[in-house]
Amino acid sequence: MPTNGLSLIIVGADHLNKDKSNRRSEILWSHPGEDVHLVPEPKNPVDPQAVAVFSARGVQIGYVRGVQCQLIRSYLSRGRITGAIFQCAHEDGAVIRLSLDGEPPQLPDNVSDQPVISNKQRRAEEPPDHDGWYPDEIYSEE
**Mean pLDDT of the region 32-45:** 96
Question: Which tens digit of pLDDT belongs to each residue from 45-104?
Answer: 999 999 999 999 999 999 999 999 999 999 999 999 999 999 999 999 999 999 998 888
In the predicted structure, residue 115 carries a pLDDT above the cut 60: no
The pLDDT, as a whole number, for residue 5 is 85
Q: For the whole model, what pTM was predicted?
A: 0.76
The C-alpha atoms of residue 37 and residue 123 are separated, in whole angstroms, by 34
- What's the pLDDT band for 1 if we cut at 50, 70, 90? very low
Question: Which tens digit of pLDDT belongs to each residue from 116-139?
Answer: 545 555 455 555 554 555 555 566
* CB 104 within 8 Å of CB 5: no
- Helix (H) or strand (E) run with residue 121 in it: helix 119-125
Cβ neighbours, 10 Å, residue 75: 19
Question: Which tens digit of pLDDT belongs to each residue from 4-26?
Answer: 788 999 999 999 999 999 999 99
